[in-house]
Structure formats: structure tokens, C-alpha cells
Amino acid sequence: MTRRHRKSSATAPAGYFAWEAAGLRWLRAADGASVVEVRDEGEDFLELPWLESAGATPEGAEALGRGLARTHAAGASAFGAPPEGWEGDGWLGPLSEPLPLTVGAWDSWGRFYGEARVLPMARAGRERGTFDATDVDRLEALASRLAGGEHDTDDAPARLHGDLWSGNVMWTADGAVLIDPAAHGGHREGDLAMLALFGCPHLDRVLAAYDEAAPLAAGWRDRVLLHQLHPLLVHAVLFGGSYVRQALAAADRYR
């Protein structure tokens, strides 16, 4: 009998597992990086194949970089677009406490990132007491600058995993497999910056292979922290502590 992994929760928001399933299917349809298959789903569960863990290799990292380039190139209808067939907002964060993730359609990355990523986290942090009024002013100033397009590039909306920290890359004997997405249309640098945030194995090989397959825009290294700001804000809202200082320092760098 084939082993399966059943991901379940009786307390997850209604629609949470359907959101994740939609994202997995959308990413798999790109025929790029390997993505875990949805075997079954219900209101309170998701059934997936069992993935046998193995060590990351340089060759696997290069294959991941090339695969991500193809996934991103499959594109999205707009910045902020949800997976095909999904309606309403999604979620991002741990299964024990997922936070709402705004989706929709924006014609520029900067406006999308400011309005749908920075400002919602600023409001959530204020409501929870994580940020004070001055902190919110700092984040609003960055959102305004983003809306002006200063940090935009010519990149078209990419098909993003959306939560691509190292824990959502499962290394198997056949290479890397992506799990647990918060898939949406965004800037391709976002997934790469997320890989760097929490230490992806052989990251240099991933990035080199990606850049060879789909050259990144000039100055991309200077924008890594900007793309890391949203996950830092999420961690600040959920966990507080040093994440608050890191998130505000990142915002200050670009505002």
C-alpha cells in the first residue's frame, strides 16, 4: 500500500485546504519545479504522497533553480492574482495560525506589494500591539514610495510559490519538491529572496542556475531585503521579538 501524508486541522479557516490545493495544482501546471501532488482534499484535510527525505545536493539545487525559472515564467494574470479558479483571499503562515493573504489584480508590483502586503501587516501589527503609531507611519511611507514605482522592474507577473522558505522545499532522492504554498502572481525575486531568508541548502547553486536560465534584472541583490520584508512582517506579527526590529529596519532601508 502506497504511503500517504494527511495534513489536517479542525481549526483551520474554512477554505484553507482548498486554497492550498488550488495553489499546488496551479504550480504543478507550470511544468517547472517539482510540486507535491494533491491526492485528495476535504474541508479539514489535504492528502498528499509521502515524501521520503534525502540530503540536498548541488545538482539538485541547480535543477531547482532551473525549475523555478520555468515555474515563474508560466506567469499569472496580474500581480496579486490568485491560483486559477480561486475566488476570495487566501492565507499565509503556520497551520496553527494562518494570516489572511490579500489577492486580487494590480498593474504594478510596487503598488501591489505596498497595498496588499505591507499595509495589511502594518494594520495587523497595530491591532495586536506589535507596532505603535510611529512604526505604522514608517511602513505607510514605504508603501507610498512603492506605489510610485521606484523599486519596480520590467518583470511580468510571475507564478510564485509565495511561501518558499527552506522548510517548504523537501529534498528527496529525486531532487527538491515544493510543498505548502501560498501561491499567487508576484515578482519572481520574491521566491528567491524567501529561499535566502532562512538558509536554503546550496543557495548559490540555485541562484546561479536560475540566473543562467532566466537572467535576473540589474540590481536584484540590492532588492533581496525588500522582498524579504513581507515574510519578516508576518513573523513580527505572529512572533514579535527580534522580527519586529528586522522588519522595521528593512522598511527603513527602502522608504
- The residues assigned a catalytic role are 163
Pairing of strands 99-101, 90-92: antiparallel
Residues in the chain, overall count: 255
Give how far Cα 144 sits from Cα of 5, 114, 119, 154, 221, Å.
43, 7, 10, 20, 22
* Cβ neighbours around 108 below 10 Å, total: 16
Q: Are 176 and 34 in contact (CB under 8 A)?
A: yes
Q: Are 94 and 236 in contact (CB under 8 A)?
A: no
In which residue are the cell numbers 482548498 written?
Answer: 18
Q: Is 3 exposed, middle or buried (0-12, 13-18, 19+ CB in 10 A)?
A: exposed
